[in-house]
Structure 1
Amino acid sequence: MNKIPVSVLVQTKNEEGGINKCLAALTDFDEVIVVDSNSTDRTAELAKEAGATVINFTWDGKFPQKKQWQLEQVETRNQWLLMLDADEYPTPELTQELRAIAEDPEQTRVAYDLPVAYHFAGTGLRHGHRVVKRSFLRRGHNAFRNIDLLHLPGMGEVEAHYQPEPDGPVGRTEALLVHHDVDPVRTWFDRHNRYSDWEAYIRTHPETRGSVRESKSSQGRRFDAVPLKPLVFFLYSYVLRRGFLDGRAGFDYALALSTYYWQIGLKSRELQRTGANGVGGTGRG
């Protein structure tokens, strides 16, 4: 069977623990490019051994950040791009669905949102809240806008959690993208403590919040307007979306993300009370 006419862009930095699993799921795609950020481990070496092209990226501290830089600077053979982190890979069903999309000469959509099969604390979740990522893009029809977030504490080379903006219609796949982080669970809490700093700043700056909301998926925009997020999210994920069927892992995930939304609210109230600008002042957790 012919290769799928899609170029996969995998962004990495010190990902030797998971890069092989990611690349092993991409053998049906026509082109795999690993965009590596000066890894000090064997990430680049392992990627080359697996047959991927490796391009190095050194961030200059300015816009564009890494994802938009890839859209602007990385040359690809195909018009359809699948943008992945090293801890993500398509299921076989998603691989075939992406083939059908890319090979359809009547295709009018310029981007697809991919629902994510998430692993938390080493366990795959089949139920509960489902994250959606806009990761399948038609080249030249999508861009990450320059939202004023670079000054936030802990902001790095990769765009914060907002979606690329399309210039045409967006679809959603039926099949799933797997997210399987092999790092210990403490790193999840470290990241989300930092993310809650960013979200608190965004929430207390209306103009920035409006720009970020425009760049979210429809699901993200709806949830942004929900009051009492910690309680609502727990009930939604664990009860309505039947996260309880995943056992202890489903409870842990629903509670962890509910606590994350509680952190955002608490830090937002602190910023409003103190009048701080969010730079260097929201890192206490």
Structure 2
Amino acid sequence: MFSIYILTYNEETEIAACIESALLSDDVVVVDSLSSDRTVEVAQRYPVRVVQHQFESHGQQRTWMLQSVPVKHEWVYILEADERMTPELFQECLTAMQSQDYIGYYVAERVMFLGQWIRRSTQYPRYQMRLFRRDQVWFDDYGHTEREVCNGPTGFLKETYPHYTCGKGLSRWIDKHNRYSSDEAQETLKQLETGTVKWQDLFFGASEVERRRALKDLSLRLPFRPLIRFFYMYFLLGGLLDGRAGFAWCTLQAFYEYLILLKAWEIKHLPPPVVSENSVLAIAEPTEIDSVTVN
């Protein structure tokens, strides 16, 4: 058996379905980033443990979780609230963890958008580190998200998990990616100044993960990135075969790239905004969320 961590922040509309899919395990822990909605209240209706911790970044939250939140089993699986465990994936995880060859496994996501799986325009299969030995994997920050650091060889599972990336509506998606683009703009500038393109990984990478990351590093250096991304996803990957959902997805991703470019330009060329004394005092005053006990 393996334990399942579920990461949440303001997920009251998603958390019930996520937990119900995870209850195939006998040890489920919800790690909440001090939600201001009913996420914790809903989660506490189920036979799971709930802990809260102030969110700093995706990488730090995961590493804190692995180091500070004890679980029953050596192997763990990470779910986010808009993802689901499936019985087929659960059984493959049970089988895979018996092997002595790997300390962790990547699992591909199936992006569900506008009521359907958009397979082509989402670069399927896109793998994420999900199942691993708790003492052999930790996470660093990368842009708005995280990258795993693995202390040993890793493998790939055949089964996939559904990811309801727009389950809370387009407004939530746009708001979330507006915030993400600020972090991505910082990472873009950092990579352009100090990073390099790993050409060998781009063409001869041992896995989809290595090739995808090398392609991302290359894309940061291309002119007209938003247009190139739309063309690549919609025509080269076959997003046009995903119908209306595919066109919408490719358009949103191109818009996201353009937002990153605009924010990177803003950071590089415009002075930072002036913070007034009244604003500083307002930030310093305690708020309701600051009073929540952190475990």
| C-alpha distance in 2 between matches for 1:9 and 1:31 | 9
Aligned to 1:153: none
Deviation at 1:254? 0.9
Contact 2:60 2:140 in 1 (8 A): no
Aligned to 1:12: 8
Change (3 A) 1:72 1:127: same
| C-alpha distance in 1 between matches for 2:162 and 2:85 | 6
Kindly indicate which of the two structures has a greater share of residues assigned to helix: 2
Contact 2:59 2:147 in 1 (8 A): no
Aligned to 1:118: 111
| C-alpha distance in 1 between matches for 2:274 and 2:49 | 38
Aligned to 1:164: 148
Contact 1:115 1:175 in 2 (8 A): yes
Aligned to 2:226: 230
Residue 235 of structure 1 aligns to a residue whose secondary structure is helix
Q: Does residue 190 of structure 2 align to residue 195 of structure 1?
A: no
Aligned to 1:51: 47
Aligned to 2:205: none
Contact 2:58 2:145 in 1 (8 A): no
The amino acid across from 1:170 in the alignment is: T
Deviation at 1:108? 2.0
Deviations 1:96-142 (CA, angstroms, capped at 9, x unpaired): 2212112x2x3322222221111234443233223432222211111
Query: Given the two structures, how large is their TM-score scaled by the length of structure 2?
Result: 0.76
Q: How many residues in Structure 1 have an aligned counterpart in Structure 2? A: 258
Change (3 A) 1:78 1:276: farther
Q: Does residue 128 of structure 2 align to residue 133 of structure 1?
A: yes
Residue 158 of structure 2 aligns to a residue whose secondary structure is coil
Gaps of 5+ in 1: 150-159, 281-285
Change (3 A) 1:200 1:276: farther
1:204-283 → structure 2 map (5 Å cutoff): 204-206=189-191, 210=195, 217-218=209-210, 219-226=212-219, 227-228=222-223, 229-272=225-268, 274=269
Q: Which of 62, 75, 78 does residue 83 from structure 1 map onto?
A: 78
CA-based RMSD of the aligned residues comes to 3.0
Aligned to 2:61: 66
- Percent identical residues: 30
| C-alpha distance in 1 between matches for 2:57 and 2:79 | 22
Change (3 A) 1:279 1:194: farther
| C-alpha distance in 1 between matches for 2:22 and 2:50 | 15
Contact 1:203 1:209 in 2 (8 A): no
Query: Given the two structures, how large is their TM-score scaled by the length of structure 1?
Result: 0.79
Aligned to 2:27: 31
| C-alpha distance in 2 between matches for 1:112 and 1:193 | 31
| C-alpha distance in 2 between matches for 1:231 and 1:86 | 31
